[in-house]
Structure 1
């Protein structure tokens, strides 16, 4: 069993709760179930570390600690890989990409960025009433950060919050997702045992209930809340944080559209769309879960996508040949299945899939055709391996449908004419966009959404600046 990290010490909780292997549905370990009092102690430790140590001002020390944490993650990569496969249900092949290996490099990226990032900006002199005034801006750490992460990509999302906040000089209370606590607690153990990060600078909690999150979002000693999860929960986080007027950064849901223009390579696009929606069993907020196709090619494309979905291998995530693993829980599978059933009742055509597979929480790759763009299945985030196909009449209609959503996280377009594809991409209101299969993901690329997909950006220079305050100075020039 893992431990909480509070004020530099690895501690046990008064009670525990089960961590379940979603591929079997069986408990494989237990996690500490932190209380509100634990959260209050963690916040107090983070506040003290920020207010009374030189963590926020010693840039070279922070760089060294980030380098140490990167080295520790690399050294213990295989242990983290096995834990991620078991607890998250992530297929082994995915841990060699965005579930683990690629995100580890965020710590190296922010250590390198911190070496060169300018913390001071000169504004020049002005003259007023016969005196000259020199003005400049200094950037400093925003303070204590509460970082709350979801279950789907706990390493990637946890690292994307922790690395830039530490680089900025903040102190952090990191709350693991209730369904995937152990992999995040493992990060806390590496910090405690393999880095010089001072007590209180990083605190790591896990909890099965809402009390810990309530403390983190309402405490007056927390300056910044960064949350990744559903839009519904994000609204509640924003409301709770507003009581103390905290800075709030939200990365929320998505209902991203992949637009196939009439000159696209439909064979390639069908394969790309089918395998994308099955990545991590569809449990990705940026996955393109709506496929927009020319109306007169609808049936042809549906047939091609269905053929590719039949090629998706699913099952034991430990098997290197498995492409798709399970959903995280029985509750999540129930949600996905309920949405599919209601879609069929509302008139969508089930082409393939829509079946539960036991043991574990597996759901077959699912394709729904002829979907009404205003229907629940086309408007609400599913978070499962379910692709809906929506016909459109022309380019303007495709853009209209893509933008007809409360979300604006990601999207894609496929066309033989790159200029035409880029023009379409610029009209879709989303924070990230893939053109002809382009991969935007990387530690240096800002990630976040428009509209109700969130506020702010993770990763890149923008990700660092989320955790910085700007202070403007002026002095009478000599």
Structure 2
């Protein structure tokens, strides 16, 4: 196990993969570097798994599903996931340091990426324990006489989980624990930039739980074809993926020959409609903070701010003041709330989109570059663009950086039309003094989720999913548990 420590708190994660119950390296011994985005330094390595490694992991998961009682033994699954929750709790501070090392997430705001997913393990264990897997659907008349119908919810089979780098530990949990509790076996392929959030998960499963060999597997790799092999393997019954819409399309295509069930949470370009009766002094500082707190690396970020023309200048000034004073810097320093972008490639993507937006006519109010006091690390200034054309690139493309694009509007109808002018439909927000009016606007937004006046739609007990090209299916809530189950209707004598 590699461990790199110094006074910054940097900590490397376990290098090994978990395949069929064994923590291991790849046959060639190949590895790839992991870089701390706040220092730009290599801080350790992860196993560079191969297509053959993925095939072995899928074979182990298939065998564990077909030849063991995992899918049928609810009490044992509950026992194992309760163990997992307790083990995560014991390893919490190690997981936090690994997360900050990989992602650059500020320690001040790391709770949503560490404490929240740990508690979700307990939630899903309890939810799955008490879920009704057999439901009596009553007696129905048929041409051959009355028939009683029962609905049996059973595990889908082998689930392949492909996760992104922005909130890696959270999404590793969110995409695998409900699947496990539903009785499936799982192969996890974590993102190349954040392999340790997956390998640490695998280590904990292997060393601190009774989860049987093959039930949970982790394959880390720096090669795109390894994830593609998981998506196309005919032994995999379902793929769950969070990431870009482009990759989501490729996963759908890869699974098409075997008509694989696919759960997708994809890109977003969410709009925040600020009505003219909103309290700007409370609404807009929060909007600016949400753009920066994860370095803008959030799929549900309302990155388009729609301001009424009759209060436009006022709104711009509030946003500008907040963004210019936002605490950005070393993620290990308490109080800092914005860290670096995940990589230099991501930073250049963000800055490139901002530069092209200005060239296309947007007004740069603040930001748009690299903070002068942070010459080392992949930092980007909180950036505010005004007078943005609703059809422009910056208004249509997901930036994944601390950038807000402000668009003026006249009427509520115009605001809704601008908000819906997107291939995406993951999230949205409405702020206003008249709650009925705000609710009416929210119901007209073509998006899977809407927040009104800061009261978040997101929670473990409520379904979360996108419309249009933002995804298929749901996470969270009863709907999220059922995604990992197949409903079998059984007809039988009364």
TM-score range, shorter chain: over 0.9
CA contact (8 A) 2:178 2:481 kept: yes
Residues 1:423 and 2:440 aligned together: yes
Distance across 1 between alignment mates of 2:62 and 2:143? 43
Q: Secondary structure at the match of 2:408?
A: strand
Q: Please give the per-residue CA displacement for 1:48-91, whole angstroms capped at 9, x wherever unaligned.
A: 00000000010111111111101111111000011111111101
Give unpaired runs (5+ residues) of structure 1: none
| Alignment of structure 1 residues 166-315 onto 2, 5 Å | 166-315=180-329
Query: Could you list the runs of 5+ residues in structure 2 that have no partner in the other structure?
Result: 3-13
Distance in structure 1 (CA, Å) of the matches to 2:321 and 2:217 = 48
- Aligned-pair CA distance for 1:127: 4.0
Output the CA distance in 2 between the equivalents of 1:468 and 1:261.
41
What is the count of residue pairs matched by the alignment?
476
C-alpha contact 2:276 2:310 (8 A) present in aligned 1? no
User: Which of 370, 386, 391 pairs up with 2:403?
Assistant: 386
Structure 1 residues 1-40: aligned runs within 5 Å: 1=2, 2=14, 3-13=16-26, 14-40=29-55
Q: Give the Cα–Cα distance (whole angstroms) in 2 for the partners of residues 130 and 416 of structure 1.
A: 60
Q: 1:367: how far off?
A: 0.3
CA contact (8 A) 1:277 1:387 kept: yes
* Structure 2: distance between partners of 1:321 and 1:86: 17
Q: Is the 8 A contact 2:158 2:184 kept in 1?
A: yes
Contact 1:144 1:222 in 2 (8 A): yes
Secondary structure in structure 1 of the residue aligned to 2:268: coil
Residue 10 of structure 2 is matched in structure 1 by none
Q: 1:62-211 counterparts in 2 under 5 A? A: 62-96=77-111, 98-128=112-142, 131-211=145-225
Describe how 1:396-475 pairs up with structure 2 within 5 A. 396-475=413-492
> Residues 356 and 363 of structure 1 are in contact (CA less than 8 Å); yes or no, is this contact kept in structure 2?
yes
Cα distance in 2, alignment partners of residues 111 and 168 from structure 1: 9
Distance 2:245 2:108 in 1: 29
Aligned partner (choices 334, 338, 356) of residue 324 of structure 1: 338
TM-score after normalising by structure 2:
0.95
State the 1:248 CA deviation.
0.7
Distance in 2 between residues matched to 1:318 and 1:312, nearest whole Å:
16
2:412 aligns to what? 395
Distance 2:433 2:143 in 1: 63
- TM-score, length basis structure 1: 0.98
1:371 equivalent in alignment to 2:384 = no
Q: Give the Cα separation in 1 of the matches to 2:103 and 2:250.
A: 25
Q: Report how far residue 422 of structure 1 moved.
A: 1.2
TM-superposed deviation, 1:130: 6.0
Report the RMSD for the aligned CA atoms in angstroms: 1.0
SS of 1:288 mapped into structure 2: coil
